[in-house]
C-alpha cells in the first residue's frame, strides 16, 4: 500500500498539493506515481513567473521506462521550481512528498483547493486502480 499523507490534497493524475499557508502551495507527484515510473533520470520543472491553468502540463518526469507530463492541479502563477531536481531527480524516488517537491505556485483562486481530492478519496482511487 502506498504512502498517502493525511495533510495533503491529491489529483486523479497523481499529483499532491500542500497548502503552505502563505498564499502559495507546493506541488509534487505522489509516492505511488514515483513507484509506477521507476528510477527517474530527468525532471523538467517550470520557471518562476509562468502562469499555468488547471490541468495544464507544466513539468516532465522521465524515468528509465517512459516520459510523462505532470499537470498543474490548480491554476496560478509559479513562484519557484525545485532546482535541485535538475541534478538529483532521484529525490522524487527517495522523498516524493518532501525533498522531491517540484514547484510552488500562487493559486489564482485559493478556494479551488477544496475541489481537490482528500487523502481518503485518493486512497480509494489507488485501490480502484489496483495499486
Partner 1 sequence: MAFIPHTERDVAQMLAAIGVSSIEQLFEEIPANLRIKSLAGVPTALNEMEIGRLMSARAKADGRPLCFIGAGAYEHHIPSAVWAITTRGEFYSAYTPYQAEASQGTLQLLYEYQSMIASLTGMQVSNASLYDGASAVAEACLMAVRANRKSKSQRILVPTTVHPHYRKVAAATAGNQGLRFEEVPYCTAEGRTIVEALGKYDGQDISALVIQQPNFFGVLEDVDALTDWARARHIFVIAVVNPTSLAMLKPPGEWGANGVDIAVGDGQPLGVPLSSGGPYFGFIATRMEHVRQLPGRIVGRTVDLSGRSGFTLTLQAREQHIRRAKATSNICTNQGLLVTAATIYMSIMGPQGLERVAAASHARTRELVTALSRVKGVRTAFTSPCFHEAVLLFDRPIAPVLKSLEGHGVLGGLNLAEHYPELGPALLVCATETKTAEDIDAYARALTEAMKAARAA
Q: Footprint of partner 1 on this chain (CB under 8 A)?
A: 42, 44, 47, 62, 66-67, 69
Q: Which is nearer to partner 1, 69 or 129 (CB)?
A: 69
- The DSSP call for residue 118 is P
- The DSSP call for residue 117 is B
Min dist. Cβ of residue 124 to partner 1 (A)? 30
Q: Which is nearer to partner 1, 19 or 62 (CB)?
A: 62
Which SS3 state, helix, strand or coil, does residue 28 take? strand
Min dist. Cβ of residue 47 to partner 1 (A)? 6
Q: Which is nearer to partner 1, 34 or 122 (CB)?
A: 34
- Count CB atoms within 10 A of the CB of residue 112: 14
Min dist. Cβ of residue 18 to partner 1 (A)? 25
Contacts of 25 (CB under 8 A, 6+ apart): 17, 18, 19, 74, 76, 104, 105, 107, 113
Amino acid at each position: 500500500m502506498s504512502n498517502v499523507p493525511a495533510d495533503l490534497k491529491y489529483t486523479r493524475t497523481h499529483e499532491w498539493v500542500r497548502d503552505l499557508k502563505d498564499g502559495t502551495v507546493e506541488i509534487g507527484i505522489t509516492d505511488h506515481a514515483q513507484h509506477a515510473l521507476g528510477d527517474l533520470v530527468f525532471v523538467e520543472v517550470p520557471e518562476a513567473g509562468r502562469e499555468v491553468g488547471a490541468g495544464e502540463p507544466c513539468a516532465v518526469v522521465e524515468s528509465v521506462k517512459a516520459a510523462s507530463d505532470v499537470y498543474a492541479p490548480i491554476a496560478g502563477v509559479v513562484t519557484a521550481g525545485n532546482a535541485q531536481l535538475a541534478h538529483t531527480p532521484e529525490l522524487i524516488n527517495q522523498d516524493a512528498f518532501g525533498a522531491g517537491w517540484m514547484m510552488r505556485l500562487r493559486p489564482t483562486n485559493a478556494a479551488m483547493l477544496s475541489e481537490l481530492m482528500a487523502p481518503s478519496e485518493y486512497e480509494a482511487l489507488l485501490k480502484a486502480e489496483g495499486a
